[in-house]
Amino acid sequence: MAKHIYRLFFALGCWALAAPGFAAVVENVRAYRAPEYTRLVFDLSANLDHQVFSLENPDRIVVDLSDAELTADFSSLELDNTPISNIRSAPRNGSDYRVVFDMRARTQPRSFLLEPNDQYGSRLVIDFYDSDVASAEKEVKRSADDLANDKRDIVIAISAGHGGEDPGAIGFGKLQEKKVTLAIAREIEKRVNATPGYRAVMVRDGDYGMYLQERTRIAHANDANFFVAIHADSFSSSSARGTTIYALSQRGATSEHARLLAEKENAADLIGGLGKVRLDDKDEVLRSVLLDLSMTASIASSIEAGNNIIASLGKVTHMRRSNVEQANFVVLRSADIPSLLVESGYITNPTDARNLDSAAWRQRFAAAVVEGITAWFFNNPPPGTWVSWQKENGGAPSRYVVSRGDTLGEIAERFNVPLAQLKMANHLDSNTIHIGQELTIPNGMMSTLDITFVEHTIARGETLSGIAENYRIPLDRIRDTNQLNSDTIRVGQKLKIPSW
């Protein structure tokens, strides 16, 4: 009996040794839908050889995986808004696996392998590019006379950083930069669209990856007047915190941190699996002299606008830098559009991470960014825009942030408002003003977005000035909103805190 048992175990062992050992296992699969393509990502235990080809009647895309085993489940993938109608798979040739994609429409497949990073291991990426992208892309060509006479909107292109396979920085509570940046971008979009004379264009409006140069292409295709990229910073030390504004530098970076940040953000194409595929932008050649002239003017405008945004953001958040930093960011390399990158905070800092994850904070942050942008455009309106027409006919922005060198008399003259009326609107007893102070401009161009409020219940030991500082809004706004004649408050009293 013992001899028979020994023979059985010996036979099983020999069978196990003879069984095929797969070079790689497909452990999981994910799907993303972008405006121009559908991406499927296969998580692998190791890299593998593969082949992709198309079949017709009916349309199918076939992926052959060499020396591989598939344990991933395709049934949970959301395919409703994709050109893929069904996915089938089966082993072949003993050690290989074939995956067949039944297609609703023709696509152009592209595939490549990605090396492991901090978030994922080895991956096989298959992109199904829509065949009608070129015909669906809207290119609106307008004459100079049209642009000069129609009081058109100023277009702000908003680019939420990272996306898809590239989560960006990972912070406290596994907070992902790609989700935070999209949430902030959508708040900025909402406030831009609520401001008369402005229109927002979302460069990324979902969880998918994008080429850095594709982001600027979308801005140009929509005749954008301004480009703002939203990011969240990270650092090895959790003590680093605060917001920083960056513009392009054609030379060196203004600080070592700016240089390192540019290197990290410029690597996003490779991290997200976008850097090895498309090289079709390499045909364009611009004359270097004209490019340098355009770029220099664009950078100067970017820095001016960035200073306006810093003045606005200083009222709602902690600024890590009080000046516009510069570095060679790929996403800011636009020859004719003022462009800024906003690092909204350090996702690796507990305080900043709580703010970034707070809807109320993101609303205040977005409002300050839009306030800075619109203040700059009022002083520099593109010809033929509604804002330019308003300025020529006595209009003014609803709010103005005092900058270095301003006097109250000059501000009143600039906006064609009587000095006494300006002082009355801002409850000023004298002409004394300070940098960063927010002034209301009578008869200004008001946003159509309703102001929202947060209810705050006063706790023991709190003061009105301390509450204003915590919410980072001017003390006068809390007084005016709650019709307070003094700064005396009591425990349990409820205050309305305006969001912007």
pLDDT exceeds cutoff 50 at 483: yes
Same fold flag, 394-440 and 453-498: yes
User: 82 near 105, Cβ under 8 Å?
Assistant: no
Structure-block tokens of residue 409: 């008399």
Sign of the Cα pseudo-torsion (374, 379, 380, 385, in order): positive
Question: What was the pLDDT predicted at 390?
Answer: 79
Question: What was the pLDDT predicted at 436?
Answer: 80
- Written as one string, the DSSP assignment of 292-346 is HHHHHHHHHHHHHHHHHHHHHHTTTS-BS-SS-EEE--GGG--SSS-EEEEEEEE
Query: What DSSP designation does 134 have?
Result: H
Question: What was the pLDDT predicted at 32?
Answer: 85
Instruction: Map tokens 């203040």 to a residue.
Output: 375
Nearest to 267 by CA among 343, 344, 162, 158: 162
Query: What does pLDDT average to over the chain?
Result: 78
- Superfamily of domain 453-498 in CATH is LysM domain (3.10.350.10)
What average pLDDT does the segment 30-46 reach?
A: 88
In tens, the pLDDT along 372-429 reads: 999 899 889 998 898 888 777 766 666 777 877 777 877 776 666 777 778 877 888 8
> How far apart are alpha carbons 266 and 160 in whole angstroms?
14
Structure-block tokens of residue 27: 């452990």
Paired sense of beta strands 325-327 and 494-498, if any: unpaired
pLDDT exceeds cutoff 70 at 449: no
Domain 149-277+289-379 has CATH 3.40.630.40: yes
Q: Could you say which architecture CATH assigns to the domain 24-135?
A: Sandwich (2.60)
> How far apart are alpha carbons 336 and 297 in whole angstroms?
8
Give 255's pLDDT tier (boundaries 50, 70, 90).
very low
Residue length, the chain? Answer: 500
Domain 394-440 has CATH 3.10.350.10: yes
Beta bridge partners of 70: 26
Whether the model clears a pTM of 0.95, i.e. scores above it, the answer is no
Helical pair 359-379 and 288-313, crossing angle rounded to 10 deg: 130
What average pLDDT does the segment 443-450 reach?
A: 52
pLDDT exceeds cutoff 80 at 313: yes
Number of CB atoms found within 10 A of residue 76's CB: 9
Residue 248: enclosing H or E segment and its boundaries? strand 244-248
> How far apart are alpha carbons 385 and 378 in whole angstroms?
11
User: 183 near 362, Cβ under 8 Å?
Assistant: yes
Query: What DSSP designation does 24 have?
Result: E
In tens, the pLDDT along 167-191 reads: 888 888 889 999 999 999 999 999 8
Phi, psi of 82 (to 5 degrees): -120, 165
Paired sense of beta strands 154-160 and 198-202, if any: parallel
Instruction: Map tokens 């839009």 to a residue.
Output: 370
Sketch the domain layout of the chain as residue ranges: 24-135, 149-277+289-379, 394-440, 453-498
Q: Which of 260-274, 361-375, 409-423, 463-477 has the highest mean pLDDT?
A: 361-375
Q: Which residue has the higher pLDDT, 481 or 354?
A: 354
User: 122 near 46, Cβ under 8 Å?
Assistant: yes
